[in-house]
Structure 1
Amino acid sequence: MLATYELKQQQFEQVMKEIEDVLTNIPGVEYIFTIPGMRIATLAGFFAEVGDLSRYQHPRQIQKLAGLNLKENRSGKHRGKTRISKRGRPKLRALLYKVIRPLVAKNSVFKALHMYYTTRQQNPLCKQQSLVALCCRLLRIIFVLARKQVVYDMEKMMKDTSLCNQVQHLAA
């Protein structure tokens, strides 16, 4: 059993090395790795589902591909609840969700954003809604870092300065 385990471990290390080699050939990946908490397996799964980012003009297209776009059940005068469509790729949606959970737990910026979304005065979100909103934000961040080839910066991530001040206050 130990020999089988060691063989599987060697095969795993070889596959991870090959994945790392493939990822280094993709433009913009080194900038995405500047996000604290992003790992090789995460980005490999992301690019396996999304493909080349140059095919997309806007991050909303990737958001729709993941099935994270909002839809409202409506008929005549009836207005139902607004939910995510789930019409995209379930593996991509699951990957983003599995990535955002540790980011919210470990990364102070995402933790503060989650706290802000769930405790704000106007339109506070439930915890799951906040995680979906943060998945969409992470998609936008990955898209911009890869396309513009810039390093991750917390201040640039926050567009609104008042939101930035609130998040920095919550992070402290």
Structure 2
Amino acid sequence: MGKLKELLMWKIRGEIPLSKYKERGLVFGENFSMEMGCTLDYSHCFLIEIGSDVTLAPKVSIIAHDASTKRSLGYAKIGRVNIGNRVFIGLGSIILPGINIGDDVVIAAGSVVTKDVPNNSVVGGNPAKFLKHTEDYLIKQKENLSKLPVYDESYTVRKNIDKTKKEEMKKALRDKNGYVD
């Protein structure tokens, strides 16, 4: 992300730039993508490590401390959060302190991850539970590619999708899902 874009994100949307997290000790690998509205535990981000090829969808929260014990015990609980490689964390998901997420994992939107997630897993729910192996999920999605509508990049906002294409998509996706580049 460019410095100007990062600064604008911080000033306009009130989001902390990735560079500030990194200065505080956040570790992340190549091709890390954090979409709008994500919250990483700023005060304890040095306890968070994120691998390569990881995507955080919008509004994901990763928490490395829990102050629920502070008033009663005088101490907040803390825990490391380790996220492996090739992980997708869906919109609005919450990762709690002390969690290890393996490689090749998909976490469904809206999940609350309260336990470790092993390699090659798709999990979802509150609390998140194992749904299937990532390989099985991808096999099913590949099968669907031949059955459902597939759209190229011209059907995206980043390529300025026009009104005609929007209407075409809406009509085709009335009672089923599809795929877009």
- TM-score if structure 1 supplies the norm length? 0.28
Greater relative contact order: 1 or 2 (C-alpha under 8 angstroms, separation 6 or more)?
Answer: 1
- TM-score if structure 2 supplies the norm length? 0.27
Which has more helix, going by share of residues?
1
